[in-house]
Structure formats: structure tokens, C-alpha cells
Amino acid sequence: MRYWDASALVPLVVAEPNTETVRAWLSEDDHIVTWAWTRTEITSAIERRTRDGVLSRTQRRETLGRFDRFAGSWDEITDVLAVRARANALLARHPLRPPDAGQLGAALLVQEQLAGPLAFVCLDARLALAAEREGLRIAT
């Protein structure tokens, strides 16, 4: 099992330079665990690409439909209070944006429940560094 940050899931929905890399990671272990807010982060990425003219309105609809089917296959961490407590503590230790602190807080919650090391799949260098410092294994 791996915990997937939104930065690593976006290239599975929208073609990006890292798409082949994350597809390879997914083929190694297709059990995705992520934070409940990830759907909103990815929806934001799709809508931003539409506003920027990267995706047409038709491509937007197709991408959102494909994304909805894909998101139905993963497990989501929904314990908002437990994640928030961890995220708030992380903000004191690392220069993270609140959504990234939420992602890392959710991953740490999963790792605590597993009582063992958890791989963290992430393409954001700052978040990956914080995750590593918090004891997560970074997928490479």
C-alpha cells in the first residue's frame, strides 16, 4: 500500500511530463490511499487547465468523467479531526501550504494505523522532504 498525494495523482488524469513515471509506480502497487480533499485538489487542477486553455470544454468533461471513475477505486482518509490535528502540528515544523499539511497529516495517520513504514507518492519536492523528515518512505 502507498499513500498518494494529489501531485502524483494529477498526472494519472491529465497528461503531464511525469505521467509515465507515476503510471509505473501505480503498476507496481495499485492500492491507492489518499486524503478525502484530494478529489477537490484534482478537480481544481482540471478546472485551472480549462481556464488556462490547456483543456477544451469537451476535454474537461471527458477528463472529469474519467477522474470520477478513477477516484471511485481508491481509499480515502476521512477523519478530519485527526488529520487536522496532525496538519496543524506539521505547519509548525515544515514550510507547507495547508493542503499539503493535510495530505501529510493523512499519510501519517495511515502510517500510525499500519504501525509500520508507509511509502509516500509525491511529486512536490517540499512536501516530499517534509514527509521524509516525518519518517515516511518516499516512492522513487
C-alpha cell at 131: 514527509
pTM recorded for the entire structure: 0.93
The pLDDT profile of the chain, 140 residues, written as one tens digit per residue, is: 899 999 999 999 999 999 999 999 999 999 999 999 999 999 999 999 999 999 999 999 999 999 999 999 999 999 999 999 999 999 999 999 999 999 999 999 999 999 888 999 999 999 999 999 999 999 87
Q: Where are the domains of the chain?
A: 2-38+76-138
Please answer whether residues 12 and 19 qualify as being in contact, where contact means their C-beta atoms are separated by less than 8 angstroms: yes
Q: How far apart are CA 68 and CA 115, in angstroms?
A: 31
